[in-house]
């Protein structure tokens, strides 16, 4: 139990973070936050988080802006995007620059995500 991989999920919609936590807690230790600010704070307090997954559309700071700041501070973690929308130019750039490793689609596919998180 103690060696569960730690992951962080950021989404401004409460239901999404709740569902993520419920569904992924079985195999991972899930930290959740509702904004980029939450995320940065959680990363600072939990240095052993290995994987970060973030929603794209959020007020104040969108997913990419959050990941950019997080990666600056913690370049060795793996970052993923989870969005209901198409891959925009912005996201494509982030993929090209390896800022994010993959852009995952909502509605989420549990098996696919678990596999990716376990890589």
Partner 1 sequence: MKSLKFEYKLSLLYLLLGGLWIVFSDKVVNSISNDIDFLTEIQMYKGWFYVIVTTILFFLFTRNHLTKLRDTESELEHHKNHLEQMIHEKTIDLASKNEELFRKNEIINQKNSELQNTLIRLQDTQSHLLQSEKMASLGVLTAGVAHELNNPLNYIMGAYVGLHRHYEDKTFSEHDEQVGILIDALKVGVERSVSIVDGLNQFTRNSNSYNEDCKLHDIINNSINILQNQLSDNIIIDKQYADYDLIIKGNVGNLHQVFVNILNNSIQAISNSGTITIKTSPDDDHVCIEITDTGEGIEAENLAKVADPFFTTKEPGKGTGLGLAITYNIIKKHNGTLEFQSEYGKGTSTKITLPI
Which parts of this chain interact with partner 1 (CB under 8 A)? 13, 15-16, 18-20, 22-23, 26, 57-60, 62, 84-86, 105-108, 110
**Number of C-beta neighbours around residue 45 at 10 A:** 9
CB 90 within 8 A of CB 64: yes
Tokens 């929308």 correspond to: 85
Q: Toward partner 1, which CB reaches closer, 18 or 118?
A: 18
The CB-based long-range contact list for 105-110 (8 Å cut-off, 24+ gap) reads: 106/82, 108/20, 108/82, 110/23, 110/24
Residues in the chain: 119
- Nearest approach in angstroms of CB 106 to partner 1 is 4
Q: Toward partner 1, which CB reaches closer, 74 or 108?
A: 108
- Nearest approach in angstroms of CB 82 to partner 1 is 9
- Nearest approach in angstroms of CB 15 to partner 1 is 5
- Nearest approach in angstroms of CB 100 to partner 1 is 18
Q: Toward partner 1, which CB reaches closer, 74 or 104?
A: 104
Q: Toward partner 1, which CB reaches closer, 62 or 70?
A: 62
Q: In whole angstroms, give the CA distance from residue 77 to residue 71.
A: 7
């Amino acid at each position: 139990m103690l060696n569960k991989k730690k992951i962080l999920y950021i989404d401004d919609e409460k239901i999404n973070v709740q569902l993520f936590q419920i569904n992924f807690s079985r195999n991972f230790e899930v930290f959740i936050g509702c904004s980029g600010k939450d995320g940065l704070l959680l990363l600072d307090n939990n240095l052993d988080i290995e994987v970060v997954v973030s929603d794209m559309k959020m007020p104040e700071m969108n997913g990419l802006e959050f990941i950019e700041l997080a990666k600056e501070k913690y370049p060795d973690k793996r970052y993923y995007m989870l969005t209901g929308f198409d891959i925009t130019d912005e996201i494509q750039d982030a993929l090209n620059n390896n800022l994010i490793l993959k852009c995952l689609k909502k509605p989420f596919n549990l098996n696919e995500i678990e596999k990716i998180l376990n890589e």
